[in-house]
Structure 1
Amino acid sequence: MTAFVFGIVAVILVWPAPSWLASAQWPLRAPRAAMALWQSIALAAVLSAFSCGLSIASNMLTLDEQGRPVANPLEEVATLGIVRWTAYITVFLLTLFVGARLIYSVIRVSMRTRARRSAHRQLVDLLDRMDRSAPDSPLSARDVRMLEVDQPMAYCLPGLRQRVVLSEGTVARLTRDELEAVISHERAHLRARHDLILEAFIAVHDAFPRFVRSRSALGAVQLLVELLADDTAIRTSGRTHLGRALVACADSVAPSGAMAIGGPSTLARVKRLSDTRPTMLISTLAYTAAAAILVIPTLAVAIPWLNELHRLIST
């Protein structure tokens, strides 16, 4: 029963829950609380999946009074029955698959992304056309680079050597205040290390089989990351300047591994700038749900194992 419950919880947290949350409108008003809820769902899904495998493994082994296995799992066919034994083995192997895929995805995404960023950072430094003769200009900062491109383009390259990359088309279209809003938006990504959040969600998304994971989850998290950076730009430059900058850079693109200020979510982000309704109640409910989703599966896993450890130590 424990393995069954953990399995159901893992499936719910991987598929229906993310699909519902991705289609909801309230995260646009409270992106920070929504991000906390997304992170708790992802972590609880992984914990529930592993807990399901651990519960099955414990059911497949006959333990003595000291908790040591005394039987081979293959010998449990007669005790459990072929149907139940096959179901146990299938789910257990699926859990191992998810764990292996998660480790592989984390390593693959991390290595590939950093390799692309390093190569692109070197290229940007070589092609930089920035004139830093005006010390009071926002463009004279050491981390800002400008490329000789007419198309509006603004993005950032996270890492140890962070870069904010603009095109000549962006600089020509925007006023000083709008440029400051764009740079503030990109620096918010860099300070908060939103790239690490996205990498973690990509790894979790790739770890679970396609038939159970939500397709819209990753896109929803990417939108929340942009909203969080927008909120920082609002505090430094105001809603009007940020809104004009978003419209001017709506078709901005970025290379793989970078985060552009524009994109398909620009319209929703511009509309959001006019919404000034209070979000205290929504944020409180979201944080409460995030804590419950994360704490309940964790306690459900920890308490039985702590009890078993206490029993083994006491004997």
Structure 2
Amino acid sequence: MTPLLLGLIGLALSLPIPALLARTSWPLLVPRAGIILWQSFALAAVLAISGAALSTALWLVTAERLTWWRIALHLVILGVGVLVWARFWWAAWTVWRETQARRRRQRHLVDLLGEADGMAPAIRILQEETPIAYCVPGIASPRIVVSQGTISTLSATEYAAVLEHERAHVRRRHDLVLESFTVLHRAFPRFLRTDAPLVQSQVMVELLADDAARKSCGEASVARALVALAGAPTPAGALGSGGSASVRMTRLLDPDPRNAPASGLAYLISVVVLVAPTVLLAVPWMAHAIHTLTG
């Protein structure tokens, strides 16, 4: 029974429960806790399906009475677990390789086409009248890219807010957050996953960068810059300033966006989702299996 229950929990956490959560808006009220919440669902789904596969293998060894249908069911569960783990490690490798290649190419292009800001060497200014602002993250050589149109359109405080927004992405390594979501997303076959965690995580890192910018420059400057840059293009592998404008504007209009009850609820659900399946199902099953094998 344990393999089946863990498998059902893993499947529920990978598709129907995230799909239902995506219909609500409260995780966006607390982006930091919301990111932890979404990550806990994805990680717990991987762990539950892995636990189902492991307990299936142990059951096939320790079961006293085997029937063909029980063997077939457990082999299906074992196969799904192996598939998810194989896809997880393959996704981790391919996401890292693809992301690094895109960012190397983008850094090369902006270094070639853009002009370095004498006061801030990491900034590249493109001679383009369309307002553009984004960053190319990286440990050793990040780039913040703006166009001449951005500089001429924005006031000094609005431009400072845009730069602080992009610096927050770089400083807090929001790119790693999105890469982890991409890996967990790709770990599951298409018919067992939803796009909601990946999509909402992209919105929530923008909200976190907005929070950093509003602390330095005020919400009015961030809001005006957001309006000016709404819809600005962002290359693949970069993090931009113009996406998710409506959700971000709603948060900027709130003078104090902190929401302790929503944060507490998100953290509580995260802990329960990660710990409960292990404590209630996996640990007793492992204890029983070890006792059977050694007894």
TM-score interval (norm. to shorter): over 0.9
Q: Deviations over 1:106-139 (max 9, x none)?
A: 100100110110121122112222452xxxxxxx
Q: Deviations over 1:66-110 (max 9, x none)?
A: xxxxxxxxxx9xx42222211111121111111101100110010
* Counterparts of 1:305 and 1:62, CA distance in 2: 11
Contact 1:44 1:298 in 2 (8 A): no
Distance 1:262 1:277, change over 3 A: closer
Query: Taking structure 1 as the reference length, what is the TM-score of the superposition?
Result: 0.87
Q: 2:81 maps to what in 1?
A: 95
* Counterparts of 2:75 and 2:117, CA distance in 1: 64
Query: Taking structure 2 as the reference length, what is the TM-score of the superposition?
Result: 0.92
Distance 1:62 1:308, change over 3 A: closer
SS in 2 for 1:144: strand
* Counterparts of 2:289 and 2:81, CA distance in 1: 23
Which one of the candidate residues 279, 296, 299 is aligned to 2:279? 299
Residues 1-315 of structure 1 aligned to structure 2 (within 5 Å): 1-62=1-62, 79-132=65-118, 140-160=119-139, 161-263=141-243, 265-275=244-254, 276=256, 278-300=258-280, 303-304=283-284, 307=287
* Counterparts of 2:159 and 2:26, CA distance in 1: 29
Kindly state the Cα deviation for residue 314 of structure 1 after the two structures are TM-superposed.
9.0
Over the residues paired in the alignment, what is the CA RMSD in angstroms? 2.2
Bigger Cα Rg = 1
Contact 1:51 1:301 in 2 (8 A): no
Kindly state the Cα deviation for residue 308 of structure 1 after the two structures are TM-superposed.
6.6
* Counterparts of 1:245 and 1:286, CA distance in 2: 30
Q: Which amino acid aligns with 1:149?
A: E
Distance 1:12 1:302, change over 3 A: closer
Contact 1:152 1:251 in 2 (8 A): no
Kindly state the Cα deviation for residue 28 of structure 1 after the two structures are TM-superposed.
2.3
